Structure 1
Amino acid sequence: MSNENAPQEPVKKKKGGALKLVLLSVLLLGAGGGGTYAAFASGMLDTGAVKEDPNPKLVLKGAEDPYPAGDSASKDKVEVVHGVGGGKYRTAYYAFTEEFTSNLADSSGLVQVSLAASTHYDGRVLMWLDEHETALRSRILAELAATSEADLASIKGKEELQQRLTKAINEALEEREGFGGVDNVYFRSFIVQ
């Protein structure tokens, strides 16, 4: 017997097959594009672009600072000096906004100081001083509270305090930004009571 005369079911065409194929292709390409973007963003694929050094650079006197002082730090807090004498690097100063007042160690005395920090590095250090001023204030106040009244009676004691403050500020910046960059701390006013 032959099946020639048997009724045949019509062959059903799958609708949307081409559409599904196009959508699947788009999804795969999109995922591949996203993967490619992720590879570029993570640095797995080299774009040929020059990578920025995360650490600030010393700025020569008269040279343009790639991160100009005052772009993000308040202009009234920053002073840039390009003087002709001294070293070959320009000096920029950051003035802390408020005075620091603290009890002194092992006495009923108080110290009140107004401070500025200097750097020979680019404006990123000034920006970080401004951004992290609250954390820096805390570290400075801790150093002042650990200082005795006798230490502040001599020039040598004040110079040692400057060195401790410089170290404390750099440590706080290194914790937050991975780089310190403060060369010195200066007293703008100094009162012991």
Structure 2
Amino acid sequence: MSDTPDAAPAKKKGKMKKILVAVIGVGVLVGGGVGAGLYAAGSGMIGGGAHAGPAEDPNKPKLVPKAEQKHAGEGGEGEGGGDHGGGEGEEAAEGEAKGAPTPAGSGGEKYASNYYAMERDFTSNLQDSAHIVQVGVAVSTPYDDKVITNLKTNDIAVRSAILMALGDTTEDQVFSSEGKKQLQKRLVASINQVLKEKEGFGGIGNVYFTNFVVQ
């Protein structure tokens, strides 16, 4: 008998092995692609993932760029003629001045300064002294109006903190420029402490004296 018929099954087995290997290879590729996609999504490579930062609080004060600084005189103050006419030359110069941009130098602070003057002066005894000090206080912040609003809302607590800081001040501090600068820093810290306790955010950058009298 011939051995020829036995060769056909052997060839079929070889083809089946090739098909199985090909199917397994496709399965591995598909599984690997799904796994890589899930890893990329979970790691933030796709769609932000787990590394996306928390949403920003819309109520938190925002820093104001210097370009958005509020300038004195904006809003039309100084407009109108009056009865002091001085000829066409003066009128032309006045028209040019109204249209001129606000002067701006190079350098300076990166953020705008939002100022607010507290309504009433502060009067306090000095520490271990017969003298009293009376000061007017204004503040500035590089943030938007939310900081000033917080300050107004907590006016009583802020005023109390300022008076306590003044009561801890000595004669040496109020009679020297350096001492007054140190007092300014202490007042900034006192005001911000109150705002942080009440509102969770300070934001006051500087304190200025609009009036300073020692008696």
Give the TM-score taking structure 2 as reference length: 0.56
Runs of 4+ in 1 over 2 A off after TM superposition: 50-55, 61-65, 82-85
State the partner residue of 1:78: none
Q: CA deviation at 1:51?
A: 5.7
Could you say which residue in structure 1 is the equivalent of 2:68?
Answer: 63
**Structure that is richer in strand per residue:** 1
8 Å CA contact retained: 1:162, 1:185: yes
Which residue pairs with 2:182 in the alignment? 160
Which residue of structure 2 lines up, in the alignment, with residue 15 of structure 1? Answer: none
State the identity as a percent.
47
Aligned to 2:50: none
Query: 2 CA distance for matches of 1:83 and 1:176?
Result: 39
Secondary structure of 1:112 counterpart:
strand
State how many pairs are aligned. Answer: 128
- Match of residue 104, structure 2, among 53, 77, 84: 84
Q: Secondary structure at the match of 1:160?
A: helix
Distance in 1 between the 2:69 and 2:124 partners? Answer: 39
Match of 2:196 in 1: 174
1:137 aligns with 2:159: yes
The match for 1:119 is: 141
Tell whether the 8 Å contact from 1:83 to 1:90 is kept in structure 2 after alignment: no
Amino acid at match of 1:60: P
The alignment yields a C-alpha RMSD, in angstroms, of 2.0
Deviation per residue, 1:119-157 (Å, 9 max, x gap)? 000110010111111110000000000101122111110
Matched residue, 1:18: none
Q: Distance in 1 between matches of 2:135 and 2:103?
A: 27
Greater helix share, structure number: 2
Query: Which residue of structure 1 lines up, in the alignment, with residue 19 of structure 2?
Result: none
Task: State the shift of 1:171 in Å.
Answer: 0.3
Q: Secondary structure at the match of 1:188?
A: strand
Larger radius of gyration: 2
Shift of 1:63: 3.5
Residue of 141, 145, 151 corresponding to 2:173 = 151
Counterpart of 1:98? 120
* In 1, Cα distance between equivalents of 2:187 and 2:62: 22
Structure 1: where are the runs of 5+ without partners? 1-49, 66-81
Contact conserved, 1:107 with 1:148, CA < 8 A, in 2? yes
Structure 2 residues not aligned, in runs of 5+: 1-54, 71-101
